[in-house]
Amino acid sequence: MTGAVWLVGAGPGDPGLLTRRGADLLSRADAVVFDRLVSPEILELARPDAELIDVGKSSGSHPVPQEEINGILVRLAQEGKAVVRLKGGDPYLFGRGGEEFSHLTSCGVPVGVVPGITSAFGAAACGGIPVTHRDFASSVTVITCHAKRGSSWKPDWKALAAVGGTLVFLMGTSALEEIAEGLIGAGLDESTPAAVVERGGMKGERTVRGTLGSIAGLARSAGVASPALAVVGGVASLNLDFSDMLPLKDLTVVVTRGASDAPRFAGTLARWGARVLVRPSIDPRADFSSPALSDFRPGQHEWLVFTSAHGVEFFFQWLAQKGWDVRAFAGAKIAAVGPATARELEARGLIVDLVPDVFDSAHLAEALAARKTSSAAAFRAWEATDVLSREMARSGCRLDEYPLYRNEMDGGEVGSLSADWVTFASPSAVRGFVRRWKAPGARALCIGPTTAEEAQKLGFQTVTARQASFESMTAALLELARSEKATQKERAN
């Protein structure tokens, strides 16, 4: 059985700029063959069990020759695999996509193409430069600074100097002096605006602006490195900066929630510009072995108390196992620690009677005490802290705890992550993370003080959300990022 190959353009590097079709194919592929300019965040979208094959090429260095790449694609397809050939930018703009398509079809391999946002336009835009603008340019010419193997790079400088509009040179970091000399020698004024966009659409993006006569020296002084592109023409004088719209840009944030919980939080962070790595640090698993559950009888408690959305999920699993439904608890009132837990209960048809103003166990206990609660049943994790039971005891309320699930994740080989922030929604998430990962220098964004205390014990500098919710965690990170960027601007000035 023959598989198929899709040539997919990965865009400039930001996973948010990958097409929906490209992301869908990537999530389903058995094998992904990728180039150097594909960002790690985009590779995160691949299936966890997908075979990842790095055939990265850089200027002057081709670890895997094109002929061998062709062979890899054919072999994988002939093994019956769904293959994504992932290329930075667009596969048909200096991406050798046409060559690979022709070779695959000649070998009888089905092949499709998913266009991508070319870095010639996308990376320039991320760097604040529109390649066309009615006041400056009505045309754009894209030039590669690489020649076919065995050939030398010899652009027609006179034609390029005369064409007008915007000139975009891809992969031109090492050729800036040659570009300037060639264009000036062909008659273009050395005062023509020019800019270099480094890592456009990726973490560490920056733009260096100057003139055709100065840009090579400015880029060298700034330490500009590949990947970068050069823009020559009036539009290079523009700085259409939209970084205020993406205050989390250049921040890598680790989300430690599980696969079912992470997408919403991760998506919110990504919309504000963050590079998000999803690394579940807990794996909630049902465990109904507590003797307390065996002794439980409906009707014994005035309140049913839930301190997490997972607690709700496993409560209903336990009910099903017992052969009960919610009618067994008719007359009991329901308390939830916060809005996420309340939403989970309401999604299952239960109206929540109490959510504290501050979403943590201490304030939940205070709110229950204010209702003069005499007895309550709390459905929780085995690893839950004693804050709720301790505070309830102080108020004279009987609290019976019924553990339903365990949060700890099995240990394994310790990996390393390069990140600015790690987000934690529970103390067990902190413990699970440090068992699996190291993130040197990363700060911890915590959902509440108890979680922050655990993170501090394990060596993190912490920031705590004002409310125990993912919305409040996002707000805290946005506030801090904006403040730190403002401070950086002041120092720069």
Q: Provide CB contacts within 8 A for 443, sequence distance 6+.
A: 420, 421, 422, 460, 461, 462, 463
What backbone torsions phi and psi does residue 157 show, to the nearest 5 degrees?
A: -60, -40
Under 8 Å between Cβ of 280 and 435: no
Active site residue 357: no
What backbone torsions phi and psi does residue 143 show, to the nearest 5 degrees?
A: -125, 135
**Which residue in 227, 250, 243, 273 sits closest to 118, CA to CA?**
227
Other residues' Cβ atoms within 10 Å of the Cβ of residue 311: 25
Under 8 Å between Cβ of 96 and 66: yes
Q: List strands edge to edge, sheet with 375-381.
A: 282-286, 398-408, 375-381, 303-306, 333-336
As given in the structure block, the two tokens for residue 354 are 């109490």
**Which residue in 168, 41, 166 sits closest to 94, CA to CA?**
168
What backbone torsions phi and psi does residue 293 show, to the nearest 5 degrees?
A: -65, -35
Is there a cis peptide before residue 227, judged by omega within 30 degrees of 0? yes
In order of 94, 233, 237, the CA distances from 169 in angstroms are: 11, 12, 16
Identify the active-site residue in 14, 24, 54, 57: 57
Active site residue 35: yes
Identify the active-site residue in 35, 250, 360, 420: 35
Spatial distance between the Cα atoms of 10 and 84, rounded to a whole number of angstroms: 11
Residues in the chain: 493
Under 8 Å between Cβ of 307 and 380: yes
Helix or strand holding residue 259 (H, E): none
Question: 3-state DSSP call for residue 122?
Answer: helix
What backbone torsions phi and psi does residue 461 show, to the nearest 5 degrees?
A: -80, 135
Instruction: Return the active site residues.
Output: 35, 57
